[in-house]
Structure 1
């Protein structure tokens, strides 16, 4: 333990980070910029090749930053997991998706833990960052690592520290977001706190890995439930002829006791649509039914169908049917101004409209071509973001509030807009009917 701590304090420790995606890559850069030697591991050779050239495939992480880290000689990337033996700390940043029946899929964690166990040596710190249910670090990862014949904390250290990435957030970054850390024992907590304290501005130590795992779930359950609440109120207020966006702006003027959440066409991103169900699944093991989580999930997953219903109503009012209409969906990203389309509701919107016979295209400056995901393969490319193109459609459906879509001139002469993000003015440069959805 003392040797590991000494290597952390004098920056001679080598930090290995498994997974070079939206979580692992910024974390690798933070530790390199703090003076550590960093090894980035990934099973995708195209990512490794891009990073080796100093090229970033994540828009909000500039290639200049990656190139600078590579040029300093402290950041190396590889698909060779045997190099894990050279690392003093190994951070796990791999996906934790849901299965077909919303059950947790820990296969990536299990595979990674087994890969580490085959190469584990004395003195190493292993930290799981992937969001999961309470008990995963103690009950799933620890036994796999100890199958190596080494024990924790006598031979190695194990902790959980939840990722808190918010892609595109200009106010907070990996370095400035406080880092929650909880070990499977006090010695592991101490070593993990020392490591993160050398790289980020603030570390919050908690009593156990289970508390750290639960804290991330609470954060995302809180958001999921409040988004569901405002989505339900949007539908309710719409029936009453009340603008939910104006209601929210009025409520925001209260300086205490209220936090603004905004409605949308559904949930996107890797965290909020998935993470709460990790907790509800685990709770069932203890005879608990997490009704708030289940209800929020039901409301949020129903929103794309609600929006498509508003599209059908808007076209009907214009004496058109969905079948045969040309519809342009604005935005594939799950949130504005980023190139992250994980779990984006735009994909469901497009597929639902296609199922109803609409001729659907999309426009997104961050996605020249729609990526092939686990559940969606659209085989579409983005149309140009200009007024001439927009006027060629029967209806525009605003799904993402990209800054590029906020120019009123884009909508001049457009006949019909269904706006789920409240970004299109009711009277832009030219007559247009705007339906809030």
Structure 2
């Protein structure tokens, strides 16, 4: 393990006591936010031998966890049950208990406002709740993705308003989450963890904790650097996805299949990394994180034109897909207005039920705004949950996928390429299929009624 920190001063009682408790795994770990990041982290900490106290405002989720049940599809209830039965995992909605943990890890959402500005309300609320019970000898770590400077400029003042001093009485660090829900190849414990501290003591403590949870840690010089690392990772992905989305539009106009181009290009053993187009960006990271940096950059009179252009391209993809869908329906002799469209896949990515920022929700609204009717099928999302931006779609239910129902639709739009969807049934029973993920060709299915978008 590398160490980017040095400290030649005499350790305080708070530092030495907390460091010993972490190394001996006597420390209690508190986790605020038990969602797609917080719950896997809690189970990882339990597996490493720590006792975990999880905090969440969703009392239904708290009750489910304490009943040994998981509410996240790719996390088996058996893992939750084992942790609870060992007496090492407890969930609570009582934030007055924040004085109990020795280390508190903040895993709350950091969305954008309607004006594409950072919404740190969940982070700030968490900091204020911690401050009410903050005691000497606690380590506070922010994991939520945010702009460089948040840990020291936002969290630290709230916590120090208690009269306790950061770096002496309590310790503050940032370690960005790197979860990829549903990825069978990587879990919380097998992904390297970047760590930045507000001072060398905080870095040492955070490194001591995470080095027992994950395969390796990557200490960096500051919390702001760690915050920048996370943004850089997701901006890299957003920009490259925008590039292939733009290439898709250009090559389609030329009669060239962008997926064939990418598959051929990736045979080059150096200098090329494949990214794939889609109907738009989804998830909590890639559609949002780049705008955290563009917002912060304005403070320094810097315009992030490249990042903003990528955002514009990706944001336009649902509109492009709906245009292609309407054109394909019109060519069959059926007016798009009044047609029936089945959307296959409502989650933002394959093989999970995660609906955060799913482009499928935007697709539904755009299609229906043009007079068509939509229904959806998704084996992971039986009911569309309430979302901030698409509240009017909450409560809609997935239909059954069979030959009879498929024949009743004027078009099937493949928006998410779940592995457990019967694409052969879709190809054989659907009259028109518009595929945004190249799912049917990858399944070896061809036909003049299959259109790519």
TM-score (norm 2): 0.95
Deviations 1:282-308 (A, max 9, x none): 001100000111000000000000000
* Counterpart Cα distance in 1 of 2:295 and 2:262: 33
SS of the aligned residue for 1:381 comes to: coil
Q: Does the 8 Å CA contact 2:322/2:366 hold for their aligned counterparts?
A: yes
SS of the aligned residue for 1:249 comes to: helix
Tell me how far 1:272 sits from its aligned partner: 0.2
Q: Does the 8 Å CA contact 1:387/1:411 hold for their aligned counterparts?
A: no
The range that moved more, 282-291 or 384-393, is 384-393
What residue number does 1:140 align with? 154
Q: Does the 8 Å CA contact 2:340/2:373 hold for their aligned counterparts?
A: yes
SS of the aligned residue for 2:137 comes to: coil
**Aligned with 1:186 (options 196, 200, 204):** 200
* Counterpart Cα distance in 1 of 2:352 and 2:282: 12
**Aligned with 1:90 (options 93, 98, 104):** 104
**Aligned with 2:396 (options 363, 368, 380):** 380
Within 5 Å, which residues of 2 pair with 1:145-224?
145-224=159-238
What residue number does 2:353 align with? 339
> Aligned pair count?
437
What residue number does 1:290 align with? 304
Going from structure 1 to structure 2, the CA distance change for 1:168 and 1:429 (only over 3 Å counts) comes to closer
What residue number does 1:399 align with? 415
Is 1:10 equivalent to 2:18 in the alignment? Answer: no
SS of the aligned residue for 1:405 comes to: coil
* Counterpart Cα distance in 2 of 1:205 and 1:427: 43
* Counterpart Cα distance in 2 of 1:406 and 1:175: 33
* Counterpart Cα distance in 2 of 1:127 and 1:261: 32
Tell me how far 1:413 sits from its aligned partner: 3.0
* Counterpart Cα distance in 1 of 2:380 and 2:343: 14
Q: Does the 8 Å CA contact 1:409/1:428 hold for their aligned counterparts?
A: no
What residue number does 1:411 align with? 427
Q: Does the 8 Å CA contact 1:406/1:424 hold for their aligned counterparts?
A: no
* Counterpart Cα distance in 1 of 2:432 and 2:160: 61
Going from structure 1 to structure 2, the CA distance change for 1:328 and 1:285 (only over 3 Å counts) comes to same
SS of the aligned residue for 1:282 comes to: helix
Deviations 1:177-236 (A, max 9, x none): 000000011110000000111111111100000000000000000000000000000000
Tell me how far 1:404 sits from its aligned partner: 2.4
Going from structure 1 to structure 2, the CA distance change for 1:128 and 1:427 (only over 3 Å counts) comes to closer
**Aligned with 2:380 (options 354, 360, 366):** 366
Tell me how far 1:317 sits from its aligned partner: 0.7
Within 5 Å, which residues of 2 pair with 1:5-154?
5-154=19-168
Tell me how far 1:387 sits from its aligned partner: 2.4
Deviations 1:363-414 (A, max 9, x none): 0011111111101131411001222221210000000000123531332132
Q: Does the 8 Å CA contact 1:220/1:276 hold for their aligned counterparts?
A: yes
* Counterpart Cα distance in 1 of 2:77 and 2:315: 35
Tell me how far 1:6 sits from its aligned partner: 0.5
Q: Does the 8 Å CA contact 1:412/1:429 hold for their aligned counterparts?
A: no
Q: Does the 8 Å CA contact 2:339/2:372 hold for their aligned counterparts?
A: yes
Deviations 1:317-342 (A, max 9, x none): 11111111010001111110001010
Q: Does the 8 Å CA contact 2:423/2:443 hold for their aligned counterparts?
A: no
* Counterpart Cα distance in 2 of 1:426 and 1:162: 34
Q: Does the 8 Å CA contact 1:32/1:74 hold for their aligned counterparts?
A: yes
Going from structure 1 to structure 2, the CA distance change for 1:209 and 1:320 (only over 3 Å counts) comes to same
Aligned residues: CA RMSD:
1.3
Q: Does the 8 Å CA contact 2:440/2:446 hold for their aligned counterparts?
A: no
SS of the aligned residue for 1:95 comes to: coil
Is 1:278 equivalent to 2:292 in the alignment? Answer: yes
* Counterpart Cα distance in 2 of 1:426 and 1:8: 48
SS of the aligned residue for 2:188 comes to: coil
What residue number does 1:225 align with? 239
* Counterpart Cα distance in 1 of 2:448 and 2:340: 16
Q: Does the 8 Å CA contact 1:413/1:430 hold for their aligned counterparts?
A: no
**Aligned with 1:354 (options 352, 368, 378):** 368
Q: Does the 8 Å CA contact 1:417/1:432 hold for their aligned counterparts?
A: no
Going from structure 1 to structure 2, the CA distance change for 1:333 and 1:426 (only over 3 Å counts) comes to closer
